[in-house]
Amino acid sequence: MHLLGLIAAAIVPVWLFAAYLLVQFALRERDRIEHEAVQTARQVSLVVEGELFNLQTVLNGLSKSAALSKGDLQAFHDQAVNLVWGTDRVIVLRDLGRNQLMNTEIGYGTSLPPVEPITDHDRQRLQTSGLFVSDVFAAAGSKDYRVAVGVRVPAPKGEDLILSISVPTSRIRNVMMPAVPEGWTVGVGDREGHFVARSKLHEEMTGKPGLPEYVEKVVGRSGSFTSRNLEGITLLAGYYRSSYSDWFFTANLPLSTAKAPLWRSLIAISGIGLLSLLVSMALGYIFAKRFIGATAQLSARAQALGHGQKVEPLHSSIAEFATIADAMVDAERAIATRRTELEAVLDTVPAAVWFTYDPKALQVIRNRFAAELMGLPTEASKSFGQPEHVIDTVAVKDGHVVSREDRPLSRAMRGELVDQEEFAYTLPSGVERFLLSSARPIRHPGGAILGAVQISLDITERKRGEEHRRLLANELNHRVKNTLAVVQSIAAQTIRNATSLTEAQRTLSSRLISLAKAHDLLTQQNWSGADLNDLILGSIMPHVPIERFQISGEPVWLPPNIALSVALAFHELTTNAIKYGSLSNPTGRVCIRWSLVSHKQHRCLDLDWRETGGPRVGPGGRKGFGTQLLERVFDSDKSGSVALKFEESGLICEFRVILSH
């Protein structure tokens, strides 16, 4: 690359000088073409003005007619007709208003139609010079576009008259064509910017307005500009405005045609320069091949040194490269010795260690303990010494997700000191680790940051132990409060509804025993819940033989709070059935059935208690503890619903329990 740079240093100034000459040539060529365009427009204007002057000469001669001076318009009409016979010229005699006095296209004596009044500009020209050249106009009754030259003539009586002669615009186009150079497009425009004549597409363009963006650039007597034409082609245009007719004449050349010589020169110079560069590069490659080979070998040894691999000596005819290679061999031996010592120390330390020399901290070197924490391989080739990409983890500090740029190692790379900050990391496998981390930058003796090191202690077990103890304390407190509240409620309801102290003592004892059995069942399952079938059997078996029950339903696991409520509910239903219902005689039976029903937002448990074979029962006058318990626990929007039906066959109790709550 240095040799190629030297070659470029020799060739580029030559290219720059050639480019300078090319720019100067382009500017001069542009000036020449612009001057040529203005000259072409002026030459065409002279040719067209010659034709207009010829028309003026005809009018001047005709205006001296004796018949006109005597007012003999018929004789004057015959003279004018003879003058334009066999040509496309039309002579008109008119006043300054709208009246025609004579027209060579219309026989004498025929009623002549009114004409358009002359413009203010033409009236002013008549007053100052006695002559005007009109703008392009459409002939009456046809699509033929014409232009006219008019002169002022004295009338035998009254104000002066106007004698004009008109010709088709094609006449102007034919006159100017010999003066149009090959490859150029010449246009003639009137004072209003309408086309009078055009060397190309004359029939389509005559009488039509030119592009506003083109016409508005025709300012002053002469000049040049660039603009688009009607076909969308960018043109280089020169213009000249005639003082005789006040028309403007433009000579146009496609800008691409004007730039063609420049592009040909540019391509030629670029080709020659590229060829010379290729030849020079080939020669440079031949002479630099030995250097490139030795450089590649030296580079390979430098990469081996950087990756901690063995560095071989270099045998080269370039003594300087061989000296550098020998220094690398010595450095590799010293680094290997120190790496072995450092690995032994770091693999023994019960802490996770990360090093990085990457400014973005995306590549790290980790010890064995750090690899184990992150769930990575711990073999020698993967544990320490080789930079590897960091794994994708989610870090949380104080309840907020921490971006990779705000983690200890990245902050240390920016020069910050991090002391014993706790982070929760979620690994790609889903495992959560809690680390107590500190980080420091590694600085050059001059103060520049070379890298960073982070040391972290695994405090996952400690954090989990603290969380477990906190949860146990909260759970114990919650359960004790709930149990005391339930016992208090049962005692209050029992005493309120009892008729005697003995009945209250017996009922309260029975209910507390039922609650205790439900607690025993939940305790066996670590308060994770209870099976519905086991819960029902535990509530009824101490009171009535199981043969008097028909129990059926799918396995259902109840949460602890619902399990306690169901246990108390079935205890009350059983005791009521023994006192008043189907279990109060030897023949009555109870059917218990349940099923799970899935809804869009939750699951529901539908459970029926049906008594048959007992005495006919009806609703009591007041609600007892059992009825109040069922309605308060199960009859709500969040818990579900309960319905008590007192049929002739016996009591029917229908539950719907929302399990998601």
Taking the C-alpha atoms of residue 465 and residue 458, their distance in angstroms, rounded to an integer, is: 13
431 versus 550: the higher-pLDDT residue is 550
Q: pLDDT, tens digit, for every residue of 217-270? A: 888 889 988 888 877 888 889 999 998 888 999 999 888 887 777 777 778 877
At residue 21, the pLDDT reads 81
At residue 603, the pLDDT reads 84
Confidence of residue 517 (pLDDT cuts 50, 70, 90): low
Taking the C-alpha atoms of residue 246 and residue 391, their distance in angstroms, rounded to an integer, is: 83
Which candidate, 511, 478, 514, 482, places its Cα nearest to that of 494?
511
Do residues 97 and 117 make contact, with C-beta atoms less than 8 angstroms apart? yes
Choice among 1-15, 99-113, 522-536 with the minimum mean pLDDT? 522-536
Average pLDDT over residues 422-446: 87
Average pLDDT over residues 561-576: 81
382 pLDDT higher than 50: no
Taking the C-alpha atoms of residue 395 and residue 405, their distance in angstroms, rounded to an integer, is: 11
* Residue 130 zone, left/alpha/beta (φ > 0; ψ -120 to 50; rest): left
CB atoms within 10 A of CB 582: 23
CB atoms within 10 A of CB 437: 23
By percentage, how much of the chain surpasses pLDDT 70? 87
Taking the C-alpha atoms of residue 170 and residue 166, their distance in angstroms, rounded to an integer, is: 12
3-state secondary structure of 650: coil
**Angle 378-383-385 (CA atoms, 0-180°, nearest 5)?**
165
Average pLDDT over residues 631-650: 74
Choice among 45-59, 142-156, 301-315 with the minimum mean pLDDT? 301-315
Choice among 23-27, 89-93, 602-606 with the minimum mean pLDDT? 23-27
| Per-residue tokens: 312 | 């071989």
CATH 3.30.450.20 fits 349-458, yes or no: yes
Task: Show the beta-strand stretches assigned E in 463-548.
Answer: 530-531
* CATH-assigned architecture of domain 511-657: 2-Layer Sandwich (3.30)
Average pLDDT over residues 22-40: 84
At residue 53, the pLDDT reads 92
- Residues 166-193, buried b or exposed e (16+ Cβ, 10 A)? bbbbbbbbebbeebbeeebbbbbbbbeb
At residue 178, the pLDDT reads 92
At residue 477, the pLDDT reads 65
The CATH 3.30.450.20 domain(s) of the chain lie at 40-272, 349-458
623 pLDDT higher than 70: no
Query: What value does the mean pLDDT of the chain take?
Result: 82
Confidence of residue 482 (pLDDT cuts 50, 70, 90): low
Task: Show the beta-strand stretches assigned E in 20-110.
Answer: 90-94, 100-103
Confidence of residue 149 (pLDDT cuts 50, 70, 90): very high
638 versus 586: the higher-pLDDT residue is 586
69 pLDDT higher than 50: yes
Q: Is 564 exposed, middle or buried (0-12, 13-18, 19+ CB in 10 A)?
A: buried
Confidence of residue 483 (pLDDT cuts 50, 70, 90): low
Do residues 177 and 189 make contact, with C-beta atoms less than 8 angstroms apart? no
The CATH 3.30.565.10 domain(s) of the chain lie at 511-657
3-state DSSP percent of the chain in helix, strand and coil, to 5: 50, 25, 30
* Residue 201 zone, left/alpha/beta (φ > 0; ψ -120 to 50; rest): left
3-state secondary structure of 481: helix
Average pLDDT over residues 463-487: 67
Taking the C-alpha atoms of residue 185 and residue 176, their distance in angstroms, rounded to an integer, is: 11
The CATH number fitting domain 40-272, selected from 3.30.450.20, 3.40.50.620, 3.90.1150.10, 3.40.50.450:
3.30.450.20
Residue tagged 């304390």 (tokens)? 473
C-alpha neighbours within 13 Å on the C-beta side of residue 294:
17
At residue 497, the pLDDT reads 67
Q: pLDDT, tens digit, for every residue of 605-616? A: 899 999 998 887
CB atoms within 10 A of CB 20: 10
At residue 589, the pLDDT reads 92
456 pLDDT higher than 60: yes
579 versus 491: the higher-pLDDT residue is 579
Task: Kindly state the helix (H) or strand (E) to which residue 645 belongs, with its residue range.
Answer: strand 640-646
3-state secondary structure of 434: strand
Taking the C-alpha atoms of residue 136 and residue 14, their distance in angstroms, rounded to an integer, is: 57
Do residues 420 and 465 make contact, with C-beta atoms less than 8 angstroms apart? no
